[in-house]
Amino acid sequence: MSGEALEMIAARFKALSEPTRLKLIIALEAGEKNVTELMELVGTTQTNTSRHLQNLTDSGILARRKEGLNVFYFIADKSIFELCDHVCGSLERRFQSQQNAFRGE
Amino acid sequence: MSGEALEMIAARFKALSEPTRLKLIIALEAGEKNVTELMELVGTTQTNTSRHLQNLTDSGILARRKEGLNVFYFIADKSIFELCDHVCGSLERRFQSQQNAFRGE
DNA sequence: TTTGTTTATGATCATATGGTCAATAAAAAA
DNA sequence: TTTTTTATTGACCATATGATCATAAACAAA
């Protein structure tokens, strides 16, 4: 595994390492939405929403489509959901084994 | 999906968002190693290696075992490799489609 | 044209992060 | 005991990151 490849993999993980960005991704699972809709769904400012959307777009996770005044964002890499599901499963197993350890093996 | 759950998922991704930490994980795929071995494999200082190992251990990705002067680290959550493979596949597909676009659809 | 609406960007700030050096454990060997 | 080896921790620094405010850009409507 080359250093450059590692950097790209790390960058992909970094894009997903922020709760607001995860919220945006989840909000877009059902289909494309414009910035105002997304801003209301994730509960932050317009500027902040725009910044996070840019981050995710640069990372290749989202893509954008302009229509009049609106910019619609949508999922460009749908495999992202499998990734999130994978992490969820891993965390669930971790908590389960912690609970088992606490109850006495 | 609760805010707390999102924070935990984000934290897991953040632990994986650093090339040196990915190197450490890959170095441990074959089996446990002590800090000095890992330090030489990833090519950084002992202090820095120790810090990253602590990060990964706190995240539940690695675990540690002490034996005399040595501390051996090993993979605690083996599902991490599927996660990395998943990202690799996603990036490969992305570059492939970029190449196709450049050559003219 | 002017006005209003939606989105993006520049400047700035506080905090987080990764890295380093020095010092400190902790355990084995002399 | 003292010395050596291995690993961790505290203090510090430079940079990165997320958030915010004000402004600008892009476009539609009046």
Yes or no: domain B3-77 corresponds to CATH 1.10.10.10: yes
Q: Where are the domains of chain A?
A: 3-77
Distance A68 CA to C1 C1' (A): 20
Buried b (16+ CB within 10 A) or exposed e, B47-65: eebeebbebbeebbbbebe
Q: Residue B105 has what pLDDT?
A: 66
Q: Residue B94 has what pLDDT?
A: 84
Q: Residue B25 has what pLDDT?
A: 97
CA B92 from centroid of its chain's CA atoms: 19
Angle of helix A3-15 versus helix B19-27 axis, rounded to 10:
110
Q: Do A83 and B87 touch (CB under 8 A)?
A: yes
Q: Residue A96 has what pLDDT?
A: 86
Q: Is the CB of A43 under 7 A from strand D?
A: no
CA A37 from centroid of its chain's CA atoms: 17
**A9 vs B3, B14, B84: nearest CB:** B84
Query: How close A70 comes to chain B (CA, Å)?
Result: 26
Q: Residue A105 has what pLDDT?
A: 67
Sign of CA dihedral A14, B23, A80, B61: negative
Angle of helix A80-102 versus helix B3-15 axis, rounded to 10:
100
**For each of chain B's 105 residues, which pLDDT tens digit applies?**
888 889 999 999 999 999 999 999 999 999 999 999 999 999 999 999 999 999 999 999 999 999 999 999 999 999 999 999 999 888 888 888 888 877 776
Task: Calculate the average pLDDT of chain A.
Answer: 93
Assign A17 to helix, strand or coil. Answer: coil
Q: What is the pLDDT of residues A38-85, one digit of tens each?
A: 999 999 999 999 999 999 999 999 999 999 999 999 999 999 999 998
Question: What is the DSSP code (8-state) at residue B18?
Answer: S
- C-alpha distance across the termini of chain B, in Å: 38
Q: Is the CB of B46 under 7 A from strand D?
A: yes
**B17 vs A14, A87, A89: nearest CB:** A14
Q: What is the pLDDT of residues A16-26, one digit of tens each?
A: 999 999 999 99
Angle of helix A19-27 versus helix A46-58 axis, rounded to 10:
80
Distance B67 CA to C26 C1' (A): 11
Q: Residue A49 has what pLDDT?
A: 98
The residues pairing with B64 across neighbouring beta strands, listed in sequence order, are B73
Q: Do B86 and A84 touch (CB under 8 A)?
A: no
Place of tokens 């922020």: A18
**B10 vs A3, A19, A93: nearest CB:** A19
Q: Residue B102 has what pLDDT?
A: 77
Does residue B59 contact residue B15 with C-beta atoms inside 8 Å? yes
